[in-house]
Structures are given as structure tokens and as C-alpha cells.
């Protein structure tokens, strides 16, 4: 887990952090230095999940292009960005779309 903000990192489950299941690196996750510190050369998957599409896009493309990670995933909000990153072979997840799908599903179930 690479997280620049110590406050956000403190929200992670304490037990998992203390027992070493989760390792936190306080760094800017878009940089190669942070990725190397996090051991990206041994990574099977890289996930960019900040709240900013362009930041996720940059980090994801560095993981894919520079560090040659096969499975790269990113959270996106903008549908245009989603199409772009999909076309680059990056798996995209749109939180808003997922939530609205879920809502629609709930509503249709209630109606029937």
C-alpha cells in the first residue's frame, strides 16, 4: 500500500499492519521510486485507486509501460477516461457506475 497521507493510512486495519500483512509506504505513488520501494518488480497486480482519474492514469501507465506489470487496474470516474485506459490494456473500475447499477438492481427487485 502506497499512501502519501499518514491520516488515510491510519484507517487501515491496525492488526494487519502490525502483523506485517499490510506494509505501508508513505510516498507519492505516481513515482517510480515509490513503486520500487513497494517491490513492484515482484508484483502480480498493480492497482491505482486514488480519487483522481489523471493521477490513477499516470501511475497505472508507469506500472504498465516502465515496470511491465501485466495486470494493472485503475479506478476512474470520467467515462471518456475509462475508454482511454481500457484501450491501453488497463482494467478500469467506475465506482459511480457500479453504485448506480447496484441501485437499479435493488429497485427492479423491489418492483417485482
Partner 1 sequence: MYLVIVGGGKVGAPLASSLINEGHEVFVLDNNPDTVAHLQRELGMIATIGDATSVRALEHAGAARAGAIIATTNSDEDNLAACQLAKSNFDVPRTIAVAHSPENAELFDLTGVDLVVSATDLVLSNLATALPAHPLIRLMPIADRTQELVAIKLPAAGTAVGHTISGLRLPYGTKIVLIITADGHSKTPDADALIEAEDEIIALSPTNSTTELWELLTELR
Please report whether residue 81 would count as binding partner 1 according to CB under 8 A.
yes
Which backbone phi and psi does 74 adopt, to 5 degrees? -145, 145
Q: Verify binding: residue 37, partner 1, rule CB under 8 A.
A: no
97 binds partner 1 (CB under 8 A): no
Does 83 sit near partner 1 (CB under 8 A)?
Answer: yes
Which phi and psi (to 5°) does residue 30 adopt?
-85, -10
96 binds partner 1 (CB under 8 A): no
| Measured CA angle at 77 (ends 75, 81), to 5 deg | 85
The answer to whether 76 and 82 are in contact (CB under 8 A) is yes
CA distance 43 to 82: 23
Total residues at interface with partner 1 (CB under 8 A): 20
Taking the least distance from each CB to partner 1, the nearer of 37 and 78 is 78
Q: What residues line the site for partner 1 (CB under 8 A)? A: 30-32, 52-55, 57-58, 61-62, 65-66, 78-81, 83-84, 87
Amino acid at each position: 500500500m502506497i499512501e502519501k497521507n499518514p491520516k488515510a493510512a491510519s484507517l487501515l486495519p491496525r492488526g494487519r499492519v502490525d502483523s506485517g500483512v499490510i506494509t505501508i509506504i508513505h510516498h507519492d505513488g505516481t513515482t517510480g521510486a515509490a513503486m520500487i520501494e513497494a517491490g513492484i518488480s515482484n508484483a502480480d497486480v498493480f492497482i491505482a485507486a486514488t480519487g483522481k482519474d489523471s493521477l490513477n492514469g499516470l501511475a497505472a501507465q508507469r506500472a504498465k509501460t516502465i515496470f511491465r506489470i501485466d495486470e494493472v487496474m485503475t479506478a476512474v470516474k470520467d467515462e471518456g477516461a475509462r475508454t482511454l485506459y481500457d484501450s491501453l490494456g488497463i482494467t478500469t473500475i467506475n465506482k459511480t457506475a457500479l453504485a448506480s447499477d447496484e441501485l437499479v438492481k435493488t429497485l427492479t427487485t423491489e418492483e417485482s
